[in-house]
Structure 1
């Protein structure tokens, strides 16, 4: 297959990169963008293979036309955040190699708003402020006419209440709050201490910005069995282990 994308395709610690990404997409795993699954960051591939250097490998595969990529950074970011997915032609070649039917990913229209990649703590902080924004009439406002402002403790309190209901604990750190403020997804304000306070320190409050309300963090979806990450982690560059869904290792 001299003209096939597989002729020069990448093997990353024994993992056939195209086979891995196609397997992930076919099983509904990875990030979903415009209705298509199988999008990954360099960190996701590095974690799957258990080594560093995935970023260079993904960029090389993109330059060869094996992958497509999208910038999912926050609005007005100074540097891009790339996510990658197997290109349709390359995924088709993997399917032909494995004698499988190829399903073309067609763009969907079910997602609304700007999709961005956020670290877990950043996404949790934004979600807590989004909750405060939509439930701003249920409490006495700290700022007259602007009831959506919350302290860090109040935001964390809502997350604890949520954990009690769902059994899923989510947290954010102070660095996460600072990041969303620095990237204009939220704003920070210092208020005078309340009367009869034991401290003269200001009360720091946060709220969602218009930009923050418009963005929606990408959500990672676990692949259906057999899990593509489990397959990838099991494969090594000696080629002793092999799964047909991953494609054949290339010498």
Structure 2
């Protein structure tokens, strides 16, 4: 007879199962229901979820997927409950097990990026395409260069006009892009300006989906 779930594992697996049931979480490998350890920790309000999730992955109760950006030296994992994990939840609760659709067997090309980095990339893409932001010509004969202030002002104006939420990023988000080869940086007349590199322009971030219903 299978042992019941531990006090630490039960809420984690139940949370991940609910993400699938409500078509929520990160969308990866053509399936929803993925989450980072930080998301799980925040929503279940228990500490040490990273270690617990790794242990559950070794037992086959969750699947672990590395979604680090290109060139990243440290793994960035997201997790999704497996059918084995769903069966264990059901056995513990004494109910019929839910069916967990397995993820696509291919390779996920999108990567996990924190919200501020996603916002910084979005701003630099806007500047390069001059869709919402029309930056001044910071570097003679070159396009795509933009200051963080120009992005913030444009988004603030757009938010006031449309009532939509503003995007936010901090200096470290821009610097992260530069450090990892996803953006260029120059100082022009004491102003820091940035431009996406081809690698940065090609980055596609995984997205979190709120629960339906």
Indicate the TM-score class for this superposition, using the shorter chain for normalisation: 0.7 to 0.9
Q: Find the counterpart in structure 2 of residue 216 from structure 1.
A: 204
Unaligned runs of 5+ in 2: none
Distance 2:51 2:44 in 1: 14
User: How far is 1:51 from its partner?
Assistant: 2.5
**TM-score, normalised with respect to structure 2:** 0.85
1:83-98 paired onto structure 2 within 5 Å: 83-94=78-89, 97-98=94-95
CA contact (8 A) 1:114 1:214 kept: no
Q: Find the counterpart in structure 2 of residue 37 from structure 1.
A: 32
- 2:179 paired with 1:182: yes
Q: Say how many residue pairs are matched.
A: 209
1:1-251 paired onto structure 2 within 5 Å: 1-2=1-2, 7=3, 9-12=5-8, 15-94=10-89, 97-99=94-96, 101-107=98-104, 114-135=109-130, 141-164=137-160, 165-191=162-188, 193=189, 202-225=190-213
Distance 1:24 1:131 in 2: 32
Distance 2:102 2:21 in 1: 9
CA contact (8 A) 2:86 2:97 kept: no
Question: Alignment partner of 2:33: what SS?
Answer: strand
Unaligned runs of 5+ in 1: 194-201, 226-251
Higher relative contact order (CA 8 A, sep 6+): 1
RMSD: 2.7
Distance 1:106 1:93 in 2: 19
